[in-house]
Amino acid sequence: MKTKLEILFETKPNSNLSIFITAGFPKKENLLEIIPLLEKSECDIIEIGIPFSDPLADGTIIQQSSTIALNNGMTLDILLQQVKQVRKHTLKPIVLMGYLNTLLKYGLEKFYLTCYQSGVDGLIIPDLPLSEFKNEHKTYLKKYNIDFIFLITPNTVTERALNLAKESSGFLYLVSSNSTTGNNNSPISNLTKEINTLKNSGLTIPILVGFGIKNADDFENVCEYANGAIIGSAFVQLVQNSLDLKKDIPEFINSIKTKKNDNSIK
């Protein structure tokens, strides 16, 4: 059976926008309000952060959102219950992003089963080693028809990037720079050369670019050479500062997609 991510990229290969929000932030129940608002917007993928005390790949904004969520009492159990509750209100792919310790503490098979029962479509676990993925996680992912997305950087050697791409499903996450999320001091590089190298070496999976994407210009530029982009810190900051999520979330998404983004992938 095809996954929601596979269907998305088949029907809409270009200009896909993934929006990240930390579960339990800024209030414990906010996910129940935010996901239906994202469903009504022009975002294509909903990425939910599993709060963690030491999110190594994330910058200050998302780190702080994790701390607030944990202080609010957000747990993986509550997160998955909320996803199950709100799944009926959205047809968009839901991807969880978190760290390996959280899964291990929860119990691997229990985690994958509960993800399946809750309606989770994909996972991003940045600190999961490839060997451990193959030995312990891959079987559960296939059993429960859940996609797994690996991350690569512009400095990942081609052979390793292709190995990670081969094991990825749904899409491959290309980090825009050697930085953490939300780093405004790190410019968004044009990664056409890197992507073309991978494609010429046999890459076929869609690529989304993340880290530092914050506005319509960033999104449009990335869509010139990738299948879309992931926006995290800018959206988390918007949610934190918002006095009216029903107004501000649609306006934010619309502001990202104000320019024409139907570019063909080079």
DSSP result, 15-68: SEEEEEEETT-SSTTTHHHHHHHHHTSS--EEEEE---S--TT--HHHHHHHHH
pLDDT tens track for 166-175: 999 999 999 9
Q: Using one digit for the tens of pLDDT, what is the confidence trace for 4-63?
A: 999 999 999 999 999 999 999 999 999 999 999 999 999 999 999 999 988 776 778 999
Catalytic residue among 10, 54, 58, 224: 58
pLDDT at position 258: 79
**Of all residues in the chain, what percent carry a pLDDT higher than 70?**
92
Cβ pair 219, 253 in contact under 8 A = no
The whole-number pLDDT of residue 54 equals: 81
Angle of helix 76-87 relative to helix 108-118, nearest 10 degrees, comes to 20
What integer pLDDT is reported at residue 190 of this predicted model? 83
| Active-site position among 47, 147, 167, 218 | 47
pLDDT at 197 over 60: yes
Whole-prediction pTM: 0.92
CA distance 66 to 228: 25
Question: Coil, strand or helix: which one is 243?
Answer: coil
pLDDT at 187 over 70: no
Pick from 58-62, 183-187, 194-198, 250-254: least confident: 183-187
* Distance in angstroms (rounded) separating the CA atoms of residues 131 and 133: 5
Pairing of strands 122-124, 94-97: parallel
Please name the residues in contact with 244: beta carbons below 8 A apart, sequence gap of 6 or more.
Answer: none
Q: Where along the chain do its domains lie?
A: 4-256
Quick check: is 147 catalytic? no
pLDDT score recorded for residue 102: 96
Q: Catalytic annotation on 47?
A: yes
In tens, the pLDDT along 74-127 reads 999 999 999 999 999 999 999 999 999 999 999 999 999 999 999 999 999 999
Distance CA 247, CA 235 (A): 14
d(CA 169, CA 147): 5
Where does the pLDDT of residue 263 fall: very low under 50, low under 70, confident under 90, or very high at 90 and above?
A: very low
What's the token pair of residue 30?
């906010």
- pLDDT, one tens digit per residue, over 140-163 is 999 999 999 999 999 999 999 999
What does CATH list as the number for 4-256? 3.20.20.70
Residues across the chain: 266
H helix or E strand, kind and range, residue 106: helix 100-106
Q: How far apart are CA 166 and CA 176, in angstroms?
A: 20
Token pair, residue 135, equals: 């030995």
Q: What angle do CA 172, 176, 181 make, to 5 degrees?
A: 100
Taking the C-alpha atoms of residue 127 and residue 73, their distance in angstroms, rounded to an integer, is: 24
Please report the pLDDT score of residue 260 as a whole number. Answer: 44
